[in-house]
Amino acid sequence: MVPFAGWEMPVQYEGVIQEHRAVREDAGAFDVSHMGEVEVEGPRARELLQRLLSNDLERIEPGAAQYTLLTNEAGGIVDDLIAYELDPFRFLLIVNASNRETDFAWLKEREVPGSDVRDVSDDYGLIAVQGPRALERLGLAHAPAFTFAEGEVAGVPCMVNRTGYTGEEGVELLVSAEDAGALWDAVVERGVTPCGLGARDSLRLEVCYPLHGNDIGPDTDAISAGLGWVCSLAKEFTGVDELRRIKDAGPERRLVAFVMQERAIPRQGMPILEGGEVTSGTHSPMLDRGIGMGYVPAVLADSGTELTIDVRGRRRKARVVRKPIYRREE
């Protein structure tokens, strides 16, 4: 167990690699109840969120969700989150555990009459069930990604969200805090492998989902991070002018994915000798190689470019690849 954002979290249950493989080949469960939930309600809730979040809520309707960013004046990323439209006047934001207080304070300070912002994190547990057999094991039908509906698993009522952080099909089950333990037990009884933070990190990195605090943060902008696709630059929101400028000028550096060409495991903070540094790194169980992401000068961002990672004083070759690093063979 390790401390994480004020919670005691398991790095692994049985082993990172077997948990990782379970998610790629069958189904794995993650207790992500530490994540924060913020509800924004009222006749002006949409207006408030449209001004503060980068993506355009007009693209979704009740029953749908979208990946979006809470941005600062410099176009930096206060947090990345998923916004769920519960009804036209009520939105649920599921945010990173480590940013729960920052996000809530950020939204609360900018609240307007007719938009009520509430931190409801303590009311809910969240259990992600991910993998090609996740739905089958839970007895759930397929549904489009980024939709949600009220439902139940093994008799436990929950909000069934078609979202995740592994690149696999699956759900994130939002459940009342008092039912979370029972839901976890029911999921595991159905043969879903319990997975810890270790596998969560290696799974998300294989599919190049950024981790706030590693790959993105208040000092990194969405365009350089490759998250321009969640920024609706046609609308007005915090930092949009700066993001438009960066997009027009072209970013000076870009967040790239790379695969090691020699035996070595890149880690966060290691220098990239051509410029920049590793923001996330691990061993990929699927590729059986070191993989990572990092910011490099934009001229070095094309796939195929060779990089040199300083692995504790040893120079090891890596190659820039297209994202995602891992793709299921169809």
Neighbours of 315 (CB within 10 A): 11
Verify binding: residue 290, another protein, rule CB under 8 A.
Answer: yes
Verify binding: residue 204, another protein, rule CB under 8 A.
Answer: no
Q: At what angle do helices 100-110 and 45-52 cross, to 10 degrees?
A: 120
Which residue among 219, 263, 304, 329 contacts another protein (CB under 8 A)? 263
Shortest Å distance, C-beta 12 to another protein? 7
Who's near 306: CB < 8 A, 6+ residues apart? 261, 317, 318, 319, 320
Shortest Å distance, C-beta 11 to another protein? 6
Who's near 23: CB < 8 A, 6+ residues apart? 130, 131, 166, 168, 193, 195, 199, 203
Residues in the chain: 330
H-type helices in 139-177, by residue range?
A: none
Please tell me what DSSP assigns to residue 123. G
State how far the Cα of 263 lies from the Cα of 321, in Å rounded to an integer: 17
Which residue among 4, 5, 7, 11 contacts another protein (CB under 8 A)? 11
Verify binding: residue 202, another protein, rule CB under 8 A.
Answer: yes
Verify binding: residue 40, another protein, rule CB under 8 A.
Answer: no
Verify binding: residue 312, another protein, rule CB under 8 A.
Answer: yes
Residue 289: both structure tokens together = 């190689």
State how far the Cα of 179 lies from the Cα of 174, in Å rounded to an integer: 10
Which residue among 83, 255, 283, 320 contacts another protein (CB under 8 A)? 283
Shortest Å distance, C-beta 77 to another protein? 25
17 membership: H or E segment, kind and range: helix 16-25
Verify binding: residue 279, another protein, rule CB under 8 A.
Answer: no
Span near another protein by CB under 8 A; candidates 45-53, 150-158, 175-183, 262-270: 262-270
State how far the Cα of 182 lies from the Cα of 202, in Å rounded to an integer: 27
Verify binding: residue 198, another protein, rule CB under 8 A.
Answer: yes
Shortest Å distance, C-beta 79 to another protein? 24
Verify binding: residue 8, another protein, rule CB under 8 A.
Answer: no
Minimum CB distance to another protein smaller for 251 or for 281: 281
| Spatial CA neighbour of 23 closest among 33, 8, 13 | 13
- Using omega within 30 degrees of 0 as the cis cutoff, is the peptide bond preceding 194 cis? no
Verify binding: residue 194, another protein, rule CB under 8 A.
Answer: no
Minimum CB distance to another protein smaller for 59 or for 263: 263
Shortest Å distance, C-beta 6 to another protein? 20
Verify binding: residue 280, another protein, rule CB under 8 A.
Answer: no
Verify binding: residue 305, another protein, rule CB under 8 A.
Answer: no
Verify binding: residue 286, another protein, rule CB under 8 A.
Answer: no
First to last CA, the chain: 36
Minimum CB distance to another protein smaller for 11 or for 298: 11
Minimum CB distance to another protein smaller for 80 or for 201: 201
Verify binding: residue 282, another protein, rule CB under 8 A.
Answer: yes
Indicate the residue type of 180: A
Cα Rg of the chain, angstroms: 20
Which spans of this chain sit near another protein (rule: CB under 8 A)?
Answer: 11-12, 15-17, 20, 198, 201-202, 263-265, 267, 282-283, 285, 288, 290, 312, 314
